[in-house]
């Protein structure tokens, strides 16, 4: 089986039109390369690649980029600079004959969006999404502080943070795992019915500052920052499970990406 054989199977399973401009491309290796096992992961860190190779999984589908830029625009710069991290990662990929393929746009283009759906599943919110407002959920009444604790445990988020009064009543939540960007974050949090927005990450001078100002303005709002990696894991794990059913007898596994952050008590 070649890498492209598996890519075609994944594309057919997802069943969404390919975007005219997409990041879902080969990041390393060749389409006609023979592969012997498939790994799905949220981010192809060197640690993930090492664990995939140790399991004999030489085709890696990564939701996020390989070399630290959404469109891989820093790859050539890093190579030209002989950057030590880029050099080590590229050498490992070459040594183990790995093929790395991006799987980002297609899983977001499914309906429901598989990444949001996976995050909702982790939180226990699968049946709570509003039909007229994708990404907005009517959740069991709780408080901001209690919801932050629930999210940290559910996602295994080692560095979750939140903004707002921990006693703020919460019953309507926006959910934007990963990095949606300020405008989408702002639009969700500004909706009058939304009490809290859960995101993967943001630029702190944008969404975090906006949420802090909302609180200072006396608005009943909260922001929960889960962390990019833990917020998007489940969607890719579910996709791996579905492909395994289509390839009986062929090694397929989800290789989780470790949350890179740790925190210290204040």
Q: Are the beta carbons of 229 and 43 closer than 8 angstroms? A: yes
Predicted local confidence at residue 266, as pLDDT: 81
Q: Which residues contact 4 (CB under 8 A, 6 or more apart)?
A: 31, 32
Predicted local confidence at residue 265, as pLDDT: 83
Helix, strand, coil percentages in the chain from 3-state DSSP, rounded to 5: 40, 20, 40
SS3 197: strand
Mean pLDDT, 10 residues at a time, the chain of 266 residues = 96 96 98 98 98 98 96 94 98 98 97 95 96 95 98 96 98 98 98 98 97 98 98 93 91 96 88
Q: How far apart are CA 101 and CA 259, in angstroms?
A: 21
Q: Which residues contact 77 (CB under 8 A, 6 or more apart)?
A: none
Predicted local confidence at residue 117, as pLDDT: 95
Q: Are the beta carbons of 108 and 44 closer than 8 angstroms? A: no
- What predicted TM-score, i.e. pTM, was given to this entire model? 0.95
41, containing H or E segment: strand 38-43
**Residue 5 tokens, joined:** 């054989």
Predicted local confidence at residue 37, as pLDDT: 97
Cα atoms found within 13 Å of the Cα of residue 63, Cβ hemisphere only: 29
Q: Are the beta carbons of 252 and 37 closer than 8 angstroms? A: yes
Q: How far apart are CA 77 and CA 180, in angstroms?
A: 26
CA angle 206, 110, 249 (to 5 degrees): 120
Q: Are the beta carbons of 210 and 184 closer than 8 angstroms? A: no
Strands 222-225 and 161-163: antiparallel
Q: How far apart are CA 135 and CA 251, in angstroms?
A: 34
Q: How far apart are CA 135 and CA 4, in angstroms?
A: 33
CA-closest candidate to residue 35, choices 264, 202, 256, 251: 251
Q: How far apart are CA 177 and CA 227, in angstroms?
A: 8
Q: How far apart are CA 207 and CA 213, in angstroms?
A: 10
Predicted local confidence at residue 80, as pLDDT: 96
> Within the chain, what is the greatest distance between any pair of CA atoms?
60
């Amino acid at each position: 089986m070649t890498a492209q054989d598996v890519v075609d199977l994944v594309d057919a399973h997802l069943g969404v039109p390919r975007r005219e401009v997409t990041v879902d491309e080969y990041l390393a290796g060749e389409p006609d390369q023979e592969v012997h096992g498939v790994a799905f992961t949220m981010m192809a860190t060197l640690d993930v690649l090492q664990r995939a190779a140790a399991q004999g999984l030489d085709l890696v589908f990564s939701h996020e980029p390989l070399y630290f830029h959404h469109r891989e625009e820093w790859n050539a710069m890093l190579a030209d600079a002989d950057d030590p991290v880029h050099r080590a990662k590229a050498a490992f990929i070459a040594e183990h004959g790995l093929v790395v393929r991006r799987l980002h746009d297609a899983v977001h283009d499914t309906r429901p969006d598989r990444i949001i759906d996976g995050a909702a599943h982790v939180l226990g919110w699968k049946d709570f999404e509003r039909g007229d407002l994708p990404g907005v959920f009517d959740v069991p009444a709780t408080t901001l502080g209690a919801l932050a604790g629930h999210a940290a445990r559910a996602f295994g988020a080692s560095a979750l943070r939140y903004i707002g009064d921990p006693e703020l009543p919460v019953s309507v939540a926006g959910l934007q795992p990963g990095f949606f960007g300020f405008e989408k974050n702002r639009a969700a949090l500004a909706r009058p019915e939304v009490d809290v927005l859960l995101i993967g990450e943001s630029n702190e001078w944008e969404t975090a500052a906006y949420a802090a100002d909302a609180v200072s303005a006396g608005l009943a709002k909260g922001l929960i920052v889960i962390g990019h990696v833990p917020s998007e894991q489940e969607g890719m794990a579910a996709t791996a499970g579905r492909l395994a059913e289509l390839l009986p007898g062929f090694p397929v596994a989800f290789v989780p990406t470790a949350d890179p952050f740790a925190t210290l008590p204040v």
